[in-house]
Amino acid sequence: MEQSGHLAIKNLTKVYERGQVVALKDLSFSVKKGEFLVVIGLSGSGKSTLLRCINRLIEPTSGSVSLDGVDVTSLPSSRMRRMRRGMGMVFQHFNLISRSTVLTNVLTGRLGYTPVWKSMAGWFSKADHELAMKSLERVGLEEKAYVRADELSGGQQQRVGIARALMQQPSLLLVDEPVSALDPATSNSIMQYFEEINQSDDITVLTSLHFLSLARRYGTRIIALKGGELVFDGLPSDIDDSRFKEIYGEEAEEVEVR
């Protein structure tokens, strides 16, 4: 696929351990504005590394990542901090401050907009507080604003993570295995929040998922990684049984998440 668009990945490679482990190998693809792109593949295929190379939580070894025409991989750290404002991220294990309130956790989504000295003192504007409450309302947690994060269920903690990402007012949402630790009903509920955000706000969603059934249900497009290489790029309906086994192995059986 031609490497142009909202997000463009070109020849992206990540090598660990002095060249012994190739996590990503020469990946190239592009993502249009407003797409809901799902990345699938076995554990260790490079899904999480890909997401973290896009926002440079992990530095790529070579290749480039461009967002709206800006080469993210060449930015100095000061400009990268500003660039990350437009890249929200939702983590597999929530990454919340467990002893802090839900509201405090959501407010940390404004760190890219707030001077460091103010954020360290916990000083956020009235507008930030209002936006935080609106974000919590959007995920149905406004009544939990002053509850400690570690008192919430796993599904509720992931919804806090979504609200925190929305605080960045991003154009791109990077979502790393958001439902791997959740039961099927909660998994679908969480995925529906991402679907609503994608469709209502025209926010591009790039998420890694373990279950193909969820990828088919929510993705407008799927890419698959195997051993750090791109082995599929197409519509969810294009993944038949032979494609599934090519991606996951001959002995793999598809698990349906309802």
The predicted structure's pLDDT at residue 1: 42
The predicted structure's pLDDT at residue 118: 60
Distance CA 121, CA 246 (A): 52
Domains, the chain, in order of start with CATH, read 7-94+172-248 (3.40.50.300)
Per-residue pLDDT of the chain (258 residues; tens, 9 = 90+): 445 579 999 999 999 977 788 999 999 999 999 999 999 999 999 999 999 999 999 999 999 999 999 999 999 988 998 899 999 999 998 999 999 999 999 999 988 776 555 655 567 889 999 999 999 999 999 999 999 999 999 999 999 999 999 999 999 999 999 998 889 899 999 999 999 999 999 999 999 998 889 999 999 999 999 999 999 999 999 998 888 888 887 665 566 666
pTM for the complete prediction? 0.91
Contact 55, 67 (CB under 8 A): no
Within 8 A by CB and 6+ apart from 34, the residues are 6, 198, 202, 203, 204
Contact 102, 147 (CB under 8 A): yes
Distance CA 222, CA 208 (A): 10
The predicted structure's pLDDT at residue 18: 77
Distance CA 31, CA 126 (A): 35
H helical segments located in 139-253: 154-166, 184-201, 212-218, 241-248
